[in-house]
Structure formats: structure tokens, C-alpha cells
Amino acid sequence: MRRIETDEVDPVVGEPAEKVEVTWCFPRVWGSTLLVLVAVTHPLWFATGASVEFPRVPLVSALPDAAVFGQGLSIVLVASLLLVIAAPRRLRFAWWFVSASLCASFLFDQHRLQPWAYQSAIYGLVFAAMDPAAARRWLIPVAASVYVYSALGKFDFQFAHTVGQDFLHAVTRPLGGLPDSVDFVSRIKLALLFPACELIAGIGLLPRRTRMVAGVVVMLMHAALVGLFSRFALDHSTGVVVWNILLLVQAYLLIICPEWQRRKRDETAALPPQGEHGKGPATWLVRAVIVFVLAAPLFERAGYWDHWTSWSLYSPHTSRAKIELHQSAIERLDRSIRPFVLRDADGDGWHDLVIEQWSLDSRGVPIYPQGRYQLALAEALARQFQLDDEIRVRLRSVSDRRSGQRDEKRLLGREEVRKELEKFWLTP
């Protein structure tokens, strides 16, 4: 726990507070659950000993060996989390190392840029630089932005016709499903109720008057998602389920009952050290980072900010790459990869490589939903297994919000893949 003496206005009741000692358990809870998330997704962070590891694709190709540095960064991350869990008040500085190790990990392996890891990197900066009152004021907009941007990304053709229908089926199945009398147009409208509720809840977290009600709605929403993503329904990865549990707990500790405990202190007690209330240069830097994080998702559809860092969650409008391998190259692949190569369905000699399932089985997390990353993954495979014209890629753009249509480029051979990859700012 963290104890900070303060004379500020009480952040919960909005009234002038007496001189009190404030206790907040949220950073410790977040750190503990982040450690659990690293554990359940450990193949993403630590070498598994497999003969052929899932390729690690850095954000910048000039970086040194991603495997060696990535392993070291994971050790720093775990050690830092143990420190902030053991003594969150005395070792608060360790949150700087949590955020730094996460950000460096993203550079060495884009796949580690999972939404919960990205969110934890932001939260770590806030926990390190701000006292509880200031941290809560800045974390609430960040938490609300997750729901707002996630909802806005779902108001499109792709979600309404695919993932939204899966959600609708899973939710209504215990009740016997939707009646046959419900036509397809009505089903589309019903599917859009999911992002509508998410958007209203996200906006409701911002004003004080509606924050408590919105917090309850968010808790109910995540409770439903935990059931929806469990193995008894849509059977999503363990990390996704744990993250939703964490966000449920966040709604309680950050919104419903922030665990502020008040205790009068002696008037002669020592004042907190200078900068404790968030007035130092580090705090201003963190505030600038948060402002950037809140604004950057506006440029996601234009391709200037990644989908997951824009909170595009459970939304199928994202860019992607479909990797296909010629049958003459199948034998060159490691045995651990072959189960994810589908049969030749149309007899043209080309087989789909299901990178989504490969990612889930080998690294325990969903594939990073970015065309740039998946294209770089294809290039890494071609380089590793000496593939030339035996590999081809269908690079698909973000889908049109109204029609669901995508632009598609067909790339044959490693050279074409490499030339296309050079057009991106990252992973040149």
C-alpha cells in the first residue's frame, strides 16, 4: 500500500479534507495482476526451449538480437513488479523500471505490445510520478478512453456482421438463442447495442455525477465478458480473461470504492517531501505522455497509430496479412509449424498458414493485429526457411466502415514482401 499525507480536497466526496494519511491499494493490485498476466503468457516473455521459436519481430530492424535482450528485459520486468508488490510505498521508484522494461520490450518484439501490457506501461508512469489523488485524476480519463475508442471502432460493417453476431449468439444461447422471427437487419442492430453500451459507459466515467453509475455498468460489462470469453463460451486466451478480471477490479478500486482511508494526523507531523503531490518535472512529462495517449487513437483509421494502441479491441476492421506457402516448401518448415498449415482447398498448390492459431498455441496470446507486423512475420519466415517464390502474402487494408470492403495487395516471393515492408515507417 501507499500512504501519502495530504491537505487536498478529498477526491471521493469532493469536500475539503482534513489533514489525513491516505492509503491506496490499487497500484499493488495492478502490479500483482500484471505479474499473473506475464505468468499466463510466459512464452511471450521467456524462451520456451522449442526447436523453433515463434519469430520475434522488432519495431526497428537495426536493434540487436531480440531474443537475448528480450529475455533480459523480461527478468527486469518481473523483478520490478516483485519490488512494487512487496513495498509499494518505499519502492515506488520501481514502477519506472516496470514501464521502461515494457516499452523496451515493445521495441524488441512487437508481439509483446498486447493491450494490457501497453496499458500497464502507461499506468506504471502514473504510479511512479504521482500521489494517489493526482494518479486517480489522470487514470480515470485513460480508463474511459479505452471504452470510448473501443466502442467507436465497433460501429462498422465488419463488427456488426461478424464478431458482433458471435457475441449476440453467445449471449442469447443460454436462453435458447434468438427466435427465427428476428430478421437479419434486426440482428445487426442488436449487435450494435454492444458498442453503444460500451460508449455510454466510457463517456459516463468522465463526469462526477455519472461516474458511479458508469462504474457499475463497466463492472457488469466485464463480468459478462469474463463469462463470454471463458472456455464454456468463445474460449479466448487466458490472458484476455485475466485482463477483463483486472479491468473489473479496476472499476471497483478506481471508480466505485477507491480504497481511500482517512485518518487524522498530528498537526506537528512532518510534511510530505517536495513534489509528492505531482509538481515535479517527471510528473509534467507523464502528463504529456497521457495527453498523447488520449489523442493518438484518433489517427488509427488513417494508419498513423496501431490498432491495439488505439484500443481497437474485438474489432475485425484491422489491417492484416494472409500468409500462404507453396506445397513445395512445406517439408522445409519445422515440425512445430506444420500443424498450422491448412490443406490446399482449391488445388492450386498453395496452403494458408494460420498465424492466429500459431500465435495462440505457441505464445499464449492473440496475434498482433497489424498488417505491418504480419507482413514482417512473413518476411522473417521466408528468411528463416530460405523461401523465395514459395511464399506469397495478401496484404489487406483497414476495412471501410460502411461497406466492410478492403484494399488488397498480392505479393509473391520474399523480394516483393521486403519491398512492401520498406514502405512502412517501422520495421524497415
Rounded to 10 deg, the angle between the 208-228 and 163-172 helix axes is: 80
Burial 185-205 (b: 16+ CB within 10 A, else e): eebbebbbebbebbbebbebb
Contact 16, 73 (CB under 8 A): no
pLDDT at 3 over 80: no
Measure the N-to-C terminal CA separation of the chain; round to a whole number of Å: 44
Among 310, 344, 359, which residue terminates a domain?
A: 310
What pLDDT, on a 0 to 100 scale, did the predictor assign at position 427?
A: 73
What pLDDT, on a 0 to 100 scale, did the predictor assign at position 65?
A: 59
What pLDDT, on a 0 to 100 scale, did the predictor assign at position 257?
A: 84
Tell whether 160 is covered by a domain. Answer: no
Rama region for 42: left / alpha / beta (φ>0; ψ in -120 to 50; rest)? alpha
Tell whether 233 is covered by a domain. Answer: yes
Same domain, 291 and 380: no
- Confidence bin at 356 (pLDDT 50/70/90): very high
Same domain, 223 and 306: yes
What pLDDT, on a 0 to 100 scale, did the predictor assign at position 89?
A: 83
Tell whether 398 is covered by a domain. Answer: yes
Residues 6+ apart with CB under 8 A from 211: 140, 204, 205, 255
What pLDDT, on a 0 to 100 scale, did the predictor assign at position 280?
A: 82
pLDDT at 217 over 90: yes
- Number of domain units in the chain: 2
Tell whether 344 is covered by a domain. Answer: yes
pLDDT at 165 over 90: yes
What pLDDT, on a 0 to 100 scale, did the predictor assign at position 347?
A: 87
pLDDT at 62 over 80: no
pLDDT in tens, 262-307: 444 444 333 334 344 456 889 999 999 999 999 999 999 999 999 9
Tell whether 284 is covered by a domain. Answer: yes
What pLDDT, on a 0 to 100 scale, did the predictor assign at position 150?
A: 97
pLDDT in tens, 233-265: 777 889 999 999 999 999 999 999 865 544 444
Mean pLDDT of 393-413: 96
pLDDT at 120 over 60: yes
Percentage of the chain beyond pLDDT 70 is 88
Percentage of the chain beyond pLDDT 90 is 73
Same domain, 48 and 151: yes
What pLDDT, on a 0 to 100 scale, did the predictor assign at position 268?
A: 36
Mean pLDDT of 201-222: 96
Same domain, 291 and 336: no
What size, in residues, is the chain?
Answer: 428
Among 274, 292, 310, which residue terminates a domain?
A: 310
Same domain, 107 and 246: yes
Same domain, 305 and 332: no
What pLDDT, on a 0 to 100 scale, did the predictor assign at position 66?
A: 60
What pLDDT, on a 0 to 100 scale, did the predictor assign at position 314?
A: 92
**Which residue range forms the structural domain that includes residue 378?**
320-421
Q: Residue 206 forms beta bridges with which residues? A: none
Among 253, 283, 310, which residue terminates a domain?
A: 310
Name the strand (E) or helix (H) holding 233.
Answer: none
Same domain, 251 and 281: yes
pLDDT in tens, 4-31: 444 444 444 444 444 444 568 999 999 9
What pLDDT, on a 0 to 100 scale, did the predictor assign at position 1?
A: 43
Tell whether 146 is covered by a domain. Answer: yes
What pLDDT, on a 0 to 100 scale, did the predictor assign at position 13?
A: 44
* Burial class, 273, CB count within 10 angstroms (exposed 0-12 / middle 13-18 / buried 19+): exposed
Query: Which of 363, 362, 364, 325 lies closest to 341 in space, CA to CA?
Result: 325
Residues 6+ apart with CB under 8 A from 387: 325, 329, 332, 381, 414
Mean pLDDT of 75-95: 93
Contact 255, 205 (CB under 8 A): yes
Determine what percent of the chain falls in helix, strand and coil, rounding each to the nearest 5: 55, 10, 35
Report the alpha-carbon distance of residue 376 to residue 338 in Å, rounded. Answer: 20
Mean pLDDT of 105-115: 95
What pLDDT, on a 0 to 100 scale, did the predictor assign at position 137?
A: 94
Contact 402, 413 (CB under 8 A): no
Residues 6+ apart with CB under 8 A from 45: 38, 70, 74, 77, 105, 112
Higher-confidence residue: 231 or 316? 316
Same domain, 353 and 272: no
What pLDDT, on a 0 to 100 scale, did the predictor assign at position 274?
A: 37
Higher-confidence residue: 174 or 285? 285
Report the alpha-carbon distance of residue 277 to residue 11 in Å, rounded. Answer: 13
Same domain, 135 and 58: yes
The conformation of residue 353, written as its DSSP 8-state character, comes to E
Please tell me the pTM assigned to this model: 0.89
pLDDT in tens, 325-345: 999 999 999 999 999 999 998
Cell of 118: 501497453
Tell whether 426 is covered by a domain. Answer: no
Report the alpha-carbon distance of residue 51 to residue 54 in Å, rounded. Answer: 10
What pLDDT, on a 0 to 100 scale, did the predictor assign at position 51?
A: 65
Tell whether 212 is covered by a domain. Answer: yes
